Chains A and B, each alone.
Chain A
Amino acid sequence: MDKFTTLTGIAAPLPQINVDTDMIIPKQFLKTIQRSGLGRNLFDEMRYDNDGNEVLDFVLNRPAYREAQILVAGDNFGCGSSREHAPWALLDFGIRCVIAPSFADIFYNNCFKNGILPIALPQDQVDLVMRDAQRGANARQTVDLENQTITLSDGTAIPFEVDGFRRHCLMNGLDDIGLTLEKAPAIDAFERQAGQSRPWV
C-alpha cells in the first residue's frame, strides 16, 4: 500500500448524494482477475454512453479534471454493495482522497485498506471545498494527513478528524501485510533458527 502523507492535486466536484458502489463500478466488471485496471470503468455508466463514447459533461471527462486525485461528493458516499472493487477502481483512476459529508461504513473501511483517505466534514465545509473544486484545474488543494488539514487554493485551511491508528497505518503505508512486514526481523530470526533445526523444510 502506498503511503499517504500529503497530497496536492486537482479536486473533482461530484455534487451528488448517495453515490453507490454500483455507480462507482458496475457489476459486469467484477469478473476480473485483477484489482488494477478498473480505473477505465470507474463510474462507467455515468462516464460513457451506450456506444461506449465519453459523456462530455461528466466531471472526470472534462479536460480540467481528467487528472483529478481528490473527489468531492455528497452525503452517504459509497453506499450499496460491499465490493472492494469500488476503492480499487478509484485508486486505479488516481483518486487518493474522497471528501464528503458522510460515507457508507464498509466503503469507508475498504478505503483505508487500499491507501485511500476518506474525509468526512460538516456539510458547510464540504460546500467550501466543493466550490473551490469547481474552479477547475488551477484550484489545487493540499491534503495534509499529518496535520489533518485541507488547504484550499486560496489558502483557507480546513481541519479534519481521522482515527489515530488508521492515520498511523495510512501514513506509513501499512496494511495487514505492512504491519507484519514491520516484524521482518522476527521472521528473519525465525527462518535462521528453523533453517538449523529443520533444514529439510
Chain B
Amino acid sequence: MSGKTLYDKIWDAHLVHEAEDGTCLLYIDRHLVHEVTSPQAFEGLRMTQRTVRAPDKTIAVPDHNVPTTTDRANGIENEESRIQVEALDRNARDFGIHYYPVSDVRQGIVHIVGPEQGWTLPGMTVVCGDSHTATHGAFGALAHGIGTSEVEHVLATQTLIQKKSKNMKVEITGRLAPGVTAKDITLSVIGHTGTAGGTGYVIEYCGEAIRALSMEGRMTVCNMAIEGGARAGLIAPDETTFAYVMGRPHAPKGAQWEAALAWWKTLRSDDDAHWDKVVTLRGEDIAPVVTWGTSPEDVLPITAAVPAPGDFAGGKVEAAKRSLDYMGLTPGTPLADVPIDTVFIGSCTNGRIEDLRAAAAILRGKKIKDGLRAMVVPGSGLVRAQAEEEGLAQVFIDAGFEWRMAGCSMCLAMNPDQLSPGERCAATSNRNFEGRQGKGGRTHLMSPAMAAAAAITGKLTDVRDLMRQQ
C-alpha cells in the first residue's frame, strides 16, 4: 500500500462518517463568513429554529460591499450593500459568532483576516462561502469555497457532505530570478495547465521555489488554485509556517502549542504517496507575467506580444477572438506597449504587507504617470496600520496613489470602486473576467511589483527594467 498525501492525511483526520457510495461527512474546524453569501443561510437557521453548532469556530467579517474611502464611518450609501452589511452585524450578534465589524481595525478581507488572527492553522479544514478560501491552504489546511445552502449546513452541523478529490502535485523546482514573485508562479501554473487543469483535484504545491516563499507568497499561490480549477491548493507546513502562526491571537499557546507543533510536523506527503497528476515547472523559467485576455489562463511573459487567435487550437480560437475584442488589443503588439488607465493594488491575492512592500520598493521616490488613477487597498486594517508604520503609505501617497481603507474593493467592484467601460487596469487581483472590475472594464492581472512599474510608466512594464535603473 502506498503512503498518504497531505490531503489524504487531513481528510482522514476529519472524517465523521463515510457512506457506502463514498459520500463523506467531513468535520469543519473553521467556518469563515462574509456578508454576501450568508444572509439566506442565517435566515434558514431562524426559520427552522436551528442554532449555530459551533459559534466559537465561526468567524464573520464584512468585506465585499464595504466602501474603502476614509469617510466610510459615515455609513454605506448604496442601500442593498448597507442592508447586507447590517444583516451580517445582526446575524453575528444574534448567533454569537466571532465578528470584526467595519469599525474594527482588524476588519479586512476574510481570507486575510483569518490567517492574521491565527484562526487558520495547519491541518485544519477551513470553509467559507467564497471560492478564494483556497488561500488558507498555504498553512497546510484543507480549505475551499462552498455555496449558501452549504453555509447553512456548516452553521447547523459543523460538517460538510463531500466526496474526495484526486491528488495533484505541482512542483516548482529551483529558484526564482529577481523580479519574479509568487504571483508569477501561480499565474504561470494556470497558464501551463489551463483553468480546467485542476478540475477534480486538490493541488499540493511543493519544490524548492515554493519552500523559499514567505507565508504571504504561499497564500498568493494557493489563492489562485481555484482559477486553475482545483478544489483546493495546499502547501505542507514548515518552519516558515510555524514562525508565522506563533503568537497570533488565536494560535495555541504553551503546552498546546507544543502538542500542536508535534502534529503539524507530521503533516507532509509520504515519499511513496500516490499522485494522480504531476506538473513540474522550473523556477528559473518563470518570468514576470501579465494576462492579456479575459481568462486567468491567458498568461504571457511581459516580454511577449499579444497573441493572435490562430496561435490557439480548438474552442480557444473563438475564445481568444472574443477576448482580444473585449480587451481592445491587436495581435502582435508588444505587451510592454499596452497603455493603462488605472492601477489597483489589493485583494486577497496581493493585499498583504509583503505585497505593499514589494510595490513600494519600486515606487519609492517616483511619481505615477500623469493622468493615471491608482489606488492601494490594504487587505486588512492591520495591514494598513503596519504599512503606515513602515512608511509605505507615504511612499504610495507621494507617488500619487490613493491610500484606501481595507476591503475587496475593485477586485470585484461590488462597492463603488469600479472601472468604466473601456478603462484598462493593471490589477493585482485574481480574475480578469469580462465585467469583473466594472462593466466593460479591461483587467490585466500581475504581481504588485509589476503593477507598481506600470503605474510609473503608464503602460504594462517589465519591472526588471526599472529594477536595473535603481
Contacts and interface: CB of A to CB of B under 8 A. Distances in A.
A36 B256 contact: no
B62 to A, nearest CB: 13
B260 A36 contact: no
Dominant SS among interface residues on chain B: helix
A180 to B, nearest CB: 5
A199 B253 CA distance: 11
A33 B259 contact: no
B252 interface: yes
Interface stretch (A39-47, A126-134, A136-144, A181-189): A181-189
Contacts of B152: 177
Contacts of B263: 197-198
A35 B43 contact: yes
Contact of B43 (A2, A36, A190): A36
A19 B462 CA distance: 60
A200 interface: yes
Nearest to A178: B48
Interface string A126-167: 000000000000000000000000000000000000000000
Contacts, number: 72
Contact of B87 (A33, A36, A201): A33
A174 to B, nearest CB: 11
B370 interface: no
Contact of A183 (B17, B39, B80, B252): B17
A57 interface: no
B260 A176 contact: no
Nearest to B83: A33
Contacts of B257: 200
A33 B153 contact: no
A33 B43 contact: yes
Nearest to B57: A201
Given A36-B47, A187-B159, A198 B16 contact: no
B97 interface: no
B27 interface: yes
Contacts of A181: 156-157
Nearest to A31: B80
A183 B260 contact: no
A176 B153 contact: yes
A201 B161 CA distance: 20
A166 B391 CA distance: 62
A29 B342 CA distance: 36
Contact of A35 (B47, B57, B153, B158): B47
B124 interface: yes
Query: What class of interface size applies to chain A in its complex with B?
Result: 20 to 34
Contact of B40 (A1, A34, A200): A34
A17 to B, nearest CB: 31
B178 to A, nearest CB: 39
A194 interface: yes
B149 A190 contact: no
Nearest to A175: B48
Specify which of A1, A2, A187, A197 lies most central, judged by the most chain B CB atoms within 10 Å of its CB.
A187
B260 A198 contact: yes
B189 interface: no
Contacts of A187: 16, 25, 27, 53, 157-159
Contacts of A200: 121, 252, 256-257, 259-260
Contacts of A31: 80
Interface string B39-78: 1100110111010010001000000000000000000000
B16 A201 contact: no
Contacts of B43: 33-36
B141 to A, nearest CB: 11
A184 B39 CA distance: 25
Contacts of A177: 48, 50, 152-153, 156-157
A180 B25 contact: yes
A188 to B, nearest CB: 10
Interface string A9-53: 000000000000000000000010111100000000000000000
Interface string B252-272: 100011011001000000000
Contacts of A1: 48
Contacts of A33: 39-40, 43, 83-84, 87
Nearest to A37: B43
Contacts of B47: 35-36
Contacts of B17: 183, 186
Nearest to A85: B40
Contacts of A201: 29, 57, 121, 124
A177 to B, nearest CB: 5
Nearest to B87: A33
A80 B153 CA distance: 28
A200 to B, nearest CB: 4
B360 to A, nearest CB: 36
B40 A180 contact: no
Contacts of A183: 16-17, 25
Interface in A81-96: none
A194 B27 contact: yes
Contacts of A194: 27
A1 B16 CA distance: 23
A30 to B, nearest CB: 11
Contacts of A190: 16, 27
Sort A-B residue pairs by CB-CB distance and give the 4 closest, nearest first: A33-B39, A200-B252, A200-B256, A34-B43
Interface of A: 1-2, 31, 33-36, 176-177, 180-181, 183-184, 186-187, 190-191, 194, 197-201
14 contacts: A2-B48, A33-B39, A36-B46, A36-B47, A177-B153, A180-B159, A183-B25, A186-B25, A187-B27, A187-B157, A198-B123, A199-B259, A200-B259, A201-B57
Given A176-B161, A186-B16, 17 more contacts: A2-B48, A33-B39, A33-B40, A33-B43, A176-B149, A176-B153, A177-B157, A180-B161, A181-B157, A183-B16, A187-B53, A191-B27, A194-B27, A198-B263, A199-B256, A199-B259, A201-B121
